[in-house]
A and B are shown apart, each in its own frame.
Chain A
Amino acid sequence: MTGHGMTGHGITTPGRDFRERGAHAVADTELQHALRNLDRRLRTAQESATAHPDWKDRAAAIRRETLRDLDGWLDRLEAKLTENGVQVHRAATPEEARRIVLDLARARNAKTVVKSKSMATEEIDLGNALEAAGIRSIETDLGEYIVQLAGERPSHMITPAIHKTLPQIRDVLAHEAGKDLPVNREALTAWTRERLRAEFLRADLGITGVNFAAADTGTLVLVTNEGNGRFCTTVPRVHIAVMPIEKVVPRLADLSVLLPLLTSHATGQPLTNYVTMLTGPRRAGELDGPDELHVVILDNRRSALLGTKYEEMLACIRCGACLNVCPVYRNVSGHAYDAVYSGPMGKVLTPLLSGGAEGTDLPYGSSLCHACSDACPVKIPLGDLIIELRADYPAASSPARRGRRAAWNAWARAWSTPRGYRLTTAAARLTRGRAPGLGAWTRTRVIPRPAREPFRDRWARERG
């Protein structure tokens, strides 16, 4: 997957690798100003976790039960969807998924597509594929619309335009409006409402993602706040939902814990403003809803993760909590990752979904503080997975890296014998932990100061 896959579109932060792009982002004062708005979400996950201590356990158990028999649940889901009158398509690759959607759109002579925010459609770069085929593709989530107009990609999976300040957003919308607009939330929202209302009414096709798909009832569930997802699934004659394989849940009733857990970790809301549960297309006698409902089930290297040490990554419910707490994400923002998925989950998912072709430097841009693991509502050990990926994708060899490796090896050898341990700790006491050549290492780390008297000597003196 090159060029048109995970990194094929949109403006990203300049730089050759994560380190350079991160440095560029940190130096961008307007971006840094916008990123302070993340503080508004910082405590949401923590508050939710302490308010409902058993939710994480229940949710983590449901997600792992699903992964133990993912193929089985998908087959049950497909059977139930089909029974409900939904047309199910399976796509092994992003190319296949794009072709399925484009064929459906062309066969129905679609001119305009309205899209609801969906990471899966970002992953397959669907909007650009539609535009390239001469079909207008309009993002209708407010943040996603702003990002589309700016020629960018979302920088946060829940709040796509978090990297922009309100004056910057005004500039983007005013350019599209061809007139001046005030730097005022209500006014900018009202202008967008009128503009996109016209698009909803003319659209031939609505495209959405899926937050959960219940295997026992064949129900597709979408959580939204603005109402654009409802429009996309109410007005156009055809609705296409794109879902990665791990969106399946065994039972609709599982959502009584998964839904509030997702929304509280995503936005701090006990529940999003709208939760839409779709079971089949419009029925006889109904005045609205799509005549045709299609589901594209996307694999894109996910099933290859089943049974591996990375399987747990498929438990992810895309809440964005790990982004909000990550000290790296909070300083560099999403575009520095140069990938569809950013933050800690993006560091893990990008190398895995690209088969190691992209983003293998991302796991190295981590303080390994494991704040992501603690924030995760379904208990994915993101910090551990980042470390595993470092082992699987070693950094390019360099003098500094070879030096570090030699130092660690020497340390391991020294501490393998009591005599080596005594000699090195005695040396450390004499130098108070200082050693030549450690400057680069200690610039961002604190070396523990050795005790004046080793515990070993104290023990011998007091108890011996």
Chain B
Amino acid sequence: MIDTFVARLEANACTVVGPLDVDGARAAVVERASGVVACNDDVPIPDLVAALRGAGTDVLTSDNPMWSERLASVAVGVTGAWCAVAEPAAIGIMAAPGSPRATSLVPPTHVCVVRVADVVANLDDAFARLASTPLPSALTWVGGPSRTGDLEMILTLGVHGPRAVDVILLD
């Protein structure tokens, strides 16, 4: 199932690494940092913000009073995921205090940390899981980088949302 998930994500133009352990995943996020990094609270890696700052990265967290103003200058948005579907590939991200919607939308690169245990086989399984979960104000399913077919029905990436989606699988 994880192999299918990875294959489908890559077919959607995502990059995928892992499954990694927590230390490996933390290092993978730090490695992908460039410019200002926005980090949501739902990323399932302890001490991630400290590690990023330790590596000299300017990190924007949701408790920053200037969060809204600074978001437009962020290069990389890091989020966790509530659940992910292997086929069709879709990563479900829930809005919450500390985990704003825009982190996976505004920056040109979205780094998403997905726990292997949260990957389900198909949409039926995802909706079954959703039935026993309180619904957030916004649940966004992401398949890959923003795209359009509006120009002569030929795929073009990076319209309004991220141009790159890097998925880090966490074991």
Question: Once bound together, how far apart are the Cα atoms of A190 and B156, in whole Å?
Answer: 10
B146: chain A residues within 8 A (beta carbon): 225-227, 273-274
B104 vs chain A, min Cβ distance (A): 9
B102 touching A235, Cβ below 8 Å: yes
Known A272-B143, A279-B137, A285-B97: A256·B127 in contact at CB below 8 Å:
yes
Q: Which of B75-133 contact A (CB under 8 A)?
A: 87-90, 95-98, 100-102, 105, 122-124, 126-128, 130-131
Interface majority SS (helix, strand, loop, mixed), chain B: loop
B105 touching A260, Cβ below 8 Å: no
Q: When A and B form their complex, which 7 residue pairs have the shortest distance between CB atoms, in order from nearest?
A: A227-B161, A285-B97, A143-B150, A270-B88, A227-B160, A226-B159, A271-B88
B138 touching A253, Cβ below 8 Å: no
B100 touching A273, Cβ below 8 Å: no
- In the complex, which residue of chain A has the Cβ closest to the Cβ of B104? A230
In the complex, which of the residues B68, B89, B153 contacts A37, with contact meaning CB atoms closer than 8 Å? B153
Mark contacts of A268-297 with chain B using CB atoms, 8 A cut-off: 1 yes-contact digit, 0 otherwise: 011111111111111111111100000000
Question: Once bound together, how far apart are the Cα atoms of A233 and B68, in whole Å?
Answer: 15
Question: Once bound together, how far apart are the Cα atoms of A36 and B156, in whole Å?
Answer: 18
Interface size range of chain B in the complex: 35 or more
Is residue B55 contacting chain A, with contact meaning CB distance below 8 A? no
B7 vs chain A, min Cβ distance (A): 12
Residue with the greatest number of chain B CB neighbours at <10 A, chosen from A166, A189, A283: A189
A196 vs chain B, min Cβ distance (A): 7
Is residue B45 contacting chain A, with contact meaning CB distance below 8 A? no
B122: chain A residues within 8 A (beta carbon): 256
B147 touching A273, Cβ below 8 Å: yes
Please report A residues at the B interface, Cβ cutoff 8 Å. 34, 37-38, 40-41, 140-143, 146, 159-162, 165-166, 169, 185-186, 188-190, 192-193, 196-197, 200-201, 217, 219, 225-228, 230-231, 233-235, 252-253, 255-257, 259-260, 267, 269-289
In the complex, which of the residues A143, A146, A226, A282 contacts B160, with contact meaning CB atoms closer than 8 Å? A226
In the complex, which of the residues B102, B130, B141 contacts A252, with contact meaning CB atoms closer than 8 Å? B130
Question: Once bound together, how far apart are the Cα atoms of A38 and B141, in whole Å?
Answer: 28
- In the complex, which residue of chain B has the Cβ closest to the Cβ of A254? B127
A140: chain B residues within 8 A (beta carbon): 160
Q: Sample 9 A-B pairs with CB under 8 A, ordered by A number.
A: A40-B154, A142-B150, A159-B149, A189-B151, A192-B159, A197-B160, A228-B160, A233-B138, A287-B97
B157 vs chain A, min Cβ distance (A): 8
A166 touching B160, Cβ below 8 Å: no
A260 touching B137, Cβ below 8 Å: no
A166: chain B residues within 8 A (beta carbon): 151-152
Is residue B34 contacting chain A, with contact meaning CB distance below 8 A? no
Is residue B15 contacting chain A, with contact meaning CB distance below 8 A? no
Known A192-B159, A288-B102: A256·B126 in contact at CB below 8 Å:
yes
B140 touching A274, Cβ below 8 Å: yes
A225: chain B residues within 8 A (beta carbon): 146-149, 159
A189 touching B105, Cβ below 8 Å: no
A219 touching B135, Cβ below 8 Å: yes
Question: Once bound together, how far apart are the Cα atoms of A114 and B91, in whole Å?
Answer: 26
B131 vs chain A, min Cβ distance (A): 6
Known A143-B148, A253-B131: A230·B159 in contact at CB below 8 Å:
no
B140 touching A253, Cβ below 8 Å: no
